[in-house]
Structure formats: C-alpha cells, structure tokens
Amino acid sequence: MSKGPVLIELETDVSPNVAEAEAVPDTHAELPSGQAMQLAAKLGARRGSRLGRWFWGLLVAFVGAVASVAAWGFLTQLVLRTPVLGWALTGLAVALALVAFVLIVKELAGFARLRRVDRLKAVMDAACADGTLGAASEAVDQLVRFYARRDDTAWGRQTLAERRGEVLDGDALLSIAETDLVVPLDLMALAEVEAAARQVAVVTALVPLALADLIAALTANMRMIRRVAEIYGGRSGTLGSWRLFRAVMTHLVATGAVAVGEDLIGPIAGGGALAKLSRRFGEGLVNGALTARVGVAAMEVCRPMAFGAGMRPSVTSVVKKALKGVFTKS
C-alpha cells in the first residue's frame, strides 16, 4: 500500500474570498477602564496654583472678618434694644466660637499625629539603612512607645519584649518588631481596603446614576484612607484626611499605578469572561480593583515602617479576595 500524499479534488471551483470575511471584533476596545477611579485619582492629585491658593485664603479671611464685625455689631445693638434676646444670641455665638475652636484644635492635633508618624517612619528607615543593633534598638523603642497606650498592641508588645533579648542583629530585631507589632495592624487595614473595594464595585455596578460612581469612589476612598491612617496611629481630621488622600493619589498618578492592565483584571476574570459582563458590571469590577490598589498605597504611606522583604501585600491577591463572589459565583 502506497504511503504517498493523497490529493482530494473539491466538487466546486469557487474559492473563499478572504477580503470578504467579517472583521474579528476587537474585544479589548470594549473593556472597562474604571473611569470613576481614574477621575477621582486625577481630582485628588490635582494641585492648584499658588495664586489660586492665595486668592481663596484671602477671600476666606476677608469674608470671615466682615462676618465677625457684622455679627458683633448686630449683637451689641440687639443687647441695647432687647437685652434678654441679645444676651441669648450672644451665648449662642460664644458656644459656636468654642465649638469652632475645638474643631481647629482637633485638626491641629490630627496634623501633629501625622507628623509624628512621618518622623517615626524616618527613624525606622534610618535604622534599616544603618543595620546596627543600636540604631535598630532605639528605633524599636520609639515604635513601642508610639503604641504603648493601645490595647490591641498589648500582646505584640509583650511578645516583642520577650524575644528582643535573644536578638543580636539589627535587621532581625526590626523584622521581629514588624511581625509582632505592625503585621496585626496590616490585617486590620487590609479588611478596610477590601470593604471599600467591594463598596465601590457594587455601587458602580448597581446604581445607574451618572455621578454616583464618582461620588462613591471619592467618599469610599477618603474614608478608607482615613481608617487606614487611624489603624496605624495617624488619626487625622477632615483636612488631614484630604492631605493623606492627595498624597496617596499623587503617588499613584506619578507612578502610573492607576492605569488598568492585565495584571489588575487578570486575577478576577479573563478577557473573555470580562467581555461577557455588562458595561456597568465591568466598570464596577475595575473601579473596585483600582480602589484596592489605592488601599495598598495608603498602607505604604501611613505605615510607621516600610514593608520588609515579602511582607508587602500583593495587589492582585487583595483584589481577588475583595471582589471574589461579587459578580461571579464564589
């Protein structure tokens, strides 16, 4: 039997025209881009001009001075005309001024706590760069004093005190301090990041309003960053939270981390599965993933010491855990 090539003749002489074939649909063009988080990041990272800041500062000072003078004149005239009502409104004005003073003090205290965390982080970085046991011991002492009044770090401080006497290396001491004191706080911060990512994803996917996704992204991310700062000991006020938000978003925009890539959406759904989702659900998935990326960056900014080798949480694992089961069967 011959094993040579076999020629099969077609019944028709008509050959298919490749030029007439339908174009392959470009599924990548339909992939969601997380517009809400992209815009939120740009708004947070945007820095006004110095002239604009001077304008708004002078305007607030002028309006405040005019309002104060007008209120003082109104109250003095009212006291002369109707003493009882005048003194009652004067008491309300004094109470309002006291509340405003307390709020200002809280804001200043929040900024002071943030600066203390920054100083502690600088000390820990210097000790890590130095590598000696003396520098590491001094830095760990400051870290222990920083968390001395927190009950949720009591076990870590006790364990660290029992183990540090056996350590003769600076890097090992810093690693033990990170494991005993900071890693439990990392778990609490990751829980906040996952909750915020789920919230942004669900709101974007289920609320059809035009600005709902942007508002949800801004509020959820600011609240998440504030909670992460509180967990690490940098509790801040309203202005301090905005400062942290800007710092995190500026870092993300500068490094290009707000861009959507296959490394971000790959762990959640492949390109084919993502293309089958509705546009709103796809946007929700990507916005939630970007929120998780913002949360990890917030941990890096607010943490009192840099992540040790192998300690930084993977963004992909955080995204996968946070959004698992939100749009697909878990």
Domain residue spans of the chain: 56-323
Residues 6+ apart with CB under 8 A from 34: 258, 260, 283, 286, 287, 289, 290
Name the 3-class secondary structure at 63: helix
Tokens of 242: 């905005």
CA distance 96 to 271: 57
0.75 cut: is pTM over it?
no
How many CB atoms neighbour CB 269 within 10 A? 17
CA distance 68 to 319: 51
Dihedral angle at the C-alpha atoms of 189, 191, 197, 200, nearest 10 degrees?
-100
Q: At residue 50, what is the residue type?
A: R
Per-residue pLDDT of the chain (330 residues; tens, 9 = 90+): 556 666 555 555 555 555 555 554 444 445 555 556 656 656 555 666 677 778 888 888 889 899 889 988 888 888 888 888 889 988 998 999 899 899 888 888 888 888 888 899 899 989 888 888 888 899 999 999 999 888 888 898 899 888 888 888 888 888 899 999 999 999 999 999 988 888 888 887 777 676 777 787 888 888 888 899 889 987 777 777 777 777 777 756 655 555 555 455 555 554 444 544 566 677 777 778 888 888 888 888 888 888 887 788 887 888 778 777 665 554
